[in-house]
A and B are shown apart, each in its own frame.
Chain A
């Protein structure tokens, strides 16, 4: 069975500092990996995805993520955080081989202080 772990319930950073939100995954084969962001009282918004190719993926709002197959990780990063980045972030995975649905992590709340 596939699974996603987001080990931190909350990440706090100061505006202007770099941020990292961690994600590790488990699938039988190779993964498709996604990051979504959820602002209060709104649905999830797609940030970026890894399908194949370059391990460093760039997405919306200056976010990027690095796929590391040996560590089964897909950490979300941003060089300089903004207060407006404060939101709930979800990592999700699905197996490339065969049919599987998308499995989400429990989410990490990012708090960026002024």
Chain B
């Protein structure tokens, strides 16, 4: 079974530039998550999709971050414009969860973003 795919693996940009990350979840997984992991901290949920609907985006900085999940499969996360504090690893995860909450999440390798 293929795992969660993410690209790019690394990205370096200047502040105020824009950047986009892509995620392809495990086939059949209804729920997709984007997390931000700052060095020395645990992952923090940015947005959660169930199929192609947003379930939770309460911690997404909506003035600069946006995300979409087209046709309930792939997803993109965009930052525009980027700030220095956005430097982090962006993790995508997926799970079978249809709202039950007890299914484990499968994580991709992450995208390491450096904002200069």
Binding site for B on A (CB under 8 A): 4, 32, 34, 36, 41-46, 49, 51, 90, 92, 94, 96, 99-102, 104-107
Binding site for A on B (CB under 8 A): 4, 40-45, 48, 55-56, 91, 93, 99, 101-102, 104-110
A99 touches B99 (CB 8 A): yes
A34 touches B104 (CB 8 A): yes
CA distance A16 to B96 in the complex (A): 36
A105 touches B105 (CB 8 A): no
Q: Provided the pairs A44-B43, A102-B45, A104-B42 are in contact, do residues A51 and B107 lie with their beta carbons within 8 angstroms?
A: no
User: What chain A residues lie within 8 Å of B41 (beta carbons)?
Assistant: 106-107
CA distance A94 to B99 in the complex (A): 12
B43 touches A101 (CB 8 A): no
User: What chain B residues lie within 8 Å of A32 (beta carbons)?
Assistant: 101-102
How many pairs, one residue from A and one from B, have CB atoms within 8 Å of each other in the complex? 52
CA distance A92 to B43 in the complex (A): 10
Q: Which residue of B lies closest to A95 (CB)?
A: B101
CB within 8 A of B109: which of A42, A49, A92, A94? A42
A100-B101, A104-B44, A106-B42 known, 18 other contacts, Cβ within 8 Å: A41-B109, A42-B109, A43-B4, A43-B91, A43-B108, A43-B110, A44-B91, A49-B102, A49-B104, A90-B42, A90-B43, A92-B42, A99-B55, A99-B99, A99-B101, A101-B56, A102-B105, A107-B41
